[in-house]
């Protein structure tokens, strides 16, 4: 059986830490959540009562950070000060890993949205050089997330080929978003299972899982504002069957239900992980 300590920064089933949930999360029973994740931009240099509240959680749970604004594919110069701030923040709170979106979110200004990068060889080289610089500053590897997109800017390469090429050229890791695979597979008419199987097992550090909005039969919007769709649950189960019980984080960014409802979804993740581990053990 795989020694997950050698590959994954955390284990089990996690939940994204959001400010509106903080007070409810303080009352969660121990063991209900295995790890948490935050966006560093929302917390760097935050002090006072909010800073103390975050410290309460980082002292009790393993934490990961998932960036929003590095804009790794942007034509604008890399924001190296942000990277240095992230490095200090990770040390301050003993953050176990930093992941970012394989996207662009600005140029001269911040767009506050995730824009697709052209799927080209030139873009692979450009992004990879920026990733290597980030890793040099941090003195550790980062993970890139496959992102949802709606209008590709250049399809000289497929999304899967582009993702694999960036991982290889930059020598970084992968944070695989299961819901984004489902959303993109419907919006761009490809096989979600086939895409998932092409991702390199040795580079995966954890999964994301979230809900999306059904705009039309052939159009899904990645919102993180609803319960996880059954197609995503099925793909997650398939991913565990292929990769093993990879640590998985549930994301919810708005339309927050009671925390107990979110814990039901976290528990479903954990049960699927347990089922996968039992199958792996039974098969030797």
pLDDT tens digits along 178-221:
999 999 999 999 999 999 999 999 999 999 999 987 787 888 88
Q: Domain map of the chain by residue range?
A: 4-282
Q: For 20-35, how does the pLDDT look when each residue is reduced to its tens digit (9 = 90+)?
A: 999 999 999 999 999 9
* Cβ 110 vs Cβ 139: under 8 Å: no
Confidence check: pLDDT of 222 > 90: no
Measured from the Cβ of residue 131, the count of other Cβ atoms closer than 10 Å reads: 24
Confidence check: pLDDT of 95 > 80: yes
For the chain, the maximum distance between any two Cα atoms, rounded to a whole number of angstroms, is 55
Residue 256 dihedral angles phi and psi, to the nearest 5°: -70, 125
* Cβ 141 vs Cβ 166: under 8 Å: no
Q: For 34-83, how does the pLDDT look when each residue is reduced to its tens digit (9 = 90+)?
A: 999 999 999 999 999 999 999 999 999 999 999 999 999 999 999 999 99
Q: What CATH superfamily classification does 4-282 receive?
A: Divalent-metal-dependent TIM barrel enzymes (3.20.20.150)
Confidence check: pLDDT of 169 > 60: yes
Q: For residues 6-34, b (16+ Cβ closer than 10 Å) or e, as one string?
A: ebbbbbbbbbbbbeebeeebeebeeebbb
pLDDT at 1: 38
Name the CA dihedral angle for 196, 199, 203, 204, rounded to a multiple of 10 degrees: -10
pLDDT at 4: 46
């Amino acid at each position: 059986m795989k020694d997950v300590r050698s590959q994954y920064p955390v284990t089990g089933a996690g939940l994204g830490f959001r400010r509106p949930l903080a007070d409810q999360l303080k009352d969660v029973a121990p063991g209900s959540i295995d790890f948490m994740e935050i966006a560093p931009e929302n917390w760097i240099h935050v002090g006072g009562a909010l800073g103390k509240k975050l410290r309460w959680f980082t002292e009790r749970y393993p934490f990961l950070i998932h960036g929003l604004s590095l804009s790794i594919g942007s034509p604008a110069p890399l924001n190296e000060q942000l990277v240095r701030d992230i490095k200090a923040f990770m040390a301050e709170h003993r953050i176990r890993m930093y992941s970012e979106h394989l996207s662009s979110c600005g140029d001269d200004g911040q767009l506050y949205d995730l824009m697709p990068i052209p799927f080209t060889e030139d873009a692979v080289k450009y992004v990879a050089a920026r990733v290597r610089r980030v890793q040099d500053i941090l003195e550790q590897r980062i993970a890139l997330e496959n992102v949802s997109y709606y209008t590709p800017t250049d399809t000289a390469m497929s999304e899967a080929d582009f993702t694999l090429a960036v991982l290889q050229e930059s020598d970084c890791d992968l944070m695989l978003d299961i819901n984004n695979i489902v959303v993109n597979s419907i919006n761009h008419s490809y096989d979600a299972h086939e895409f998932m199987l092409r991702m390199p097992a040795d580079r995966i550090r954890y999964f994301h899982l979230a809900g999306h909005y059904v705009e039309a039969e052939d159009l899904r919007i990645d919102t993180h504002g609803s319960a996880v769709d059954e197609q995503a649950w099925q793909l997650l189960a398939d991913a565990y069957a292929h990769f093993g019980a990879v640590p998985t984080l549930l994301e919810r960014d708005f339309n927050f239900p009671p925390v107990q409802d979110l814990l039901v979804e976290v528990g479903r993740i954990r049960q699927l992980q347990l089922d996968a581990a039992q199958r792996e053990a039974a098969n030797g």
